Amino acid sequence: MNVVDSSGWLEYFADDVNADFFAPAIEKTDELVVPTIIVFEVFKRMRQQKSDEAALQAVTAMMQGQVIDLDSTLALNAAKLSGDLQIPMADSMILATAHALDAELWTQDADLKGLEKVRYIEKKK
């Protein structure tokens, strides 16, 4: 199973420098997990940078994976991770979801670099 964080999705949709890094995880939809916080973040950013139509197209593509809602168990595990690792709320929710499903987390987020089952690539400018 794979979880691609918001920056990975945005990179992929923009066909930016690191898009090829994220493509294998995104395109293997039968193994793709999409936490709802990522749906929120990508939709919001796509609306800001592109349009409502582009944002809806992005979400439609994301829904090809298994969408995972934040429940109380995930929320509590995310809170523990946030405190233990000193990472922001959204990152901890994404990481908690990946942990719950024993999934690999694909990211450009330096806060998650070096963690177990995290596939990290540095964001290129």
Angle made by CA atoms 123, 88, 109, in degrees to the nearest 5: 15
Contact 5, 109 (CB under 8 A): yes
What confidence tier does 125 reach under pLDDT thresholds 50, 70, 90? Answer: confident
What confidence tier does 124 reach under pLDDT thresholds 50, 70, 90? Answer: confident
66-68 and 32-35: which strand pairing? Answer: parallel
Angle made by CA atoms 107, 86, 23, in degrees to the nearest 5: 5
Average pLDDT, the chain: 97
Q: Give residue 7's identity as a one-letter amino acid code.
A: S
Q: Span 2-120: which CATH code?
A: 3.40.50.1010
Three-state DSSP at 41 gives helix
Q: How many Å apart are CA 54 and CA 81, to the nearest integer?
A: 33
Contact 112, 120 (CB under 8 A): yes
Tokens at 120, concatenated: 């990290």
pTM to 2 decimal places = 0.94
pLDDT digits (tens, 9 = 90+) for 11-64: 999 999 999 999 999 999 999 999 999 999 999 999 999 999 999 999 999 999
